[in-house]
């Protein structure tokens, strides 16, 4: 079973591939920290139905990541951006005032915004 953070991240990437019941059950369990009984009461289904929806949904999310690797690729890109920024500003003293370095830093920041979903798309 995945921890809540990993599951939440997979939901962000692949949640639209789940049924409405699976998506809502996983969202309530993962993001709202509701118990199976609380979700069952709120959704008007049995506790076992909630458990089945969560299990099937989690399985689908894991399968999607195993095939597409979007979360893994995103994490690698984020680490590379951080490493490039460190190298860029550590390579030349006072590189922060150089227009070329400022432009490179700006482009890396834009890339970070895209990978973090802050680009407005």
- Return the number of other C-beta atoms located less than 10 Å from residue 10's C-beta: 22
Query: Where do we find the tokens 């995945």?
Result: 2
Start-end of CATH 1.10.10.10 domains in the chain: 4-68
Q: How far is 21 from 64, CA to CA, in rounded Å?
A: 18
User: CA-CA distance, 109 to 94, in Å (whole number)?
Assistant: 19
CA-based R_g, the chain, Å: 20
Dig out the tokens for 120 from the structure: 């407005």
Owner of token pair 């690797």 = 69
Tokens for 77?
């890109």
The model carries a pTM of 0.76
Over the stretch 50-108, which tens digit does the pLDDT of each residue have? 999 999 999 999 999 999 999 999 889 888 888 888 887 776 666 557 787 778 888 88
What's the pLDDT tens digit per position in 8-59?
999 999 999 999 999 999 999 999 999 999 999 999 999 999 999 999 999 9
Match domain 4-68 to its CATH number in 2.40.50.660, 1.10.10.10, 1.10.3720.10, 3.90.1710.10: 1.10.10.10
Look at residues 78, 111, 105 and name the one whose alpha carbon lies nearest to residue 91. 105
- With CA atoms as reference, report the closest residue to 77 among 121, 114, 34: 114
Q: What is the pLDDT of residue 38?
A: 97
């Amino acid at each position: 079973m995945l921890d809540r953070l990993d599951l939440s991240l997979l939901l962000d990437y692949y949640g639209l591939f789940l049924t409405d019941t699976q998506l809502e059950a996983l969202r309530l369990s993962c993001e709202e920290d509701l118990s199976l009984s609380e979700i069952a009461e709120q959704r008007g289904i049995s506790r076992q139905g909630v458990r089945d929806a969560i299990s099937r949904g989690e399985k689908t999310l894991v399968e999607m990541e195993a095939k597409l690797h979007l979360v893994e690729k995103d994490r690698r890109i984020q680490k590379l951006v951080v490493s490039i920024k460190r190298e860029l500003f550590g390579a030349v003293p006072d590189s922060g005032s150089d227009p070329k370095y400022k432009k490179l830093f700006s482009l890396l920041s834009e890339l970070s915004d895209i990978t973090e979903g802050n680009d407005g798309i």
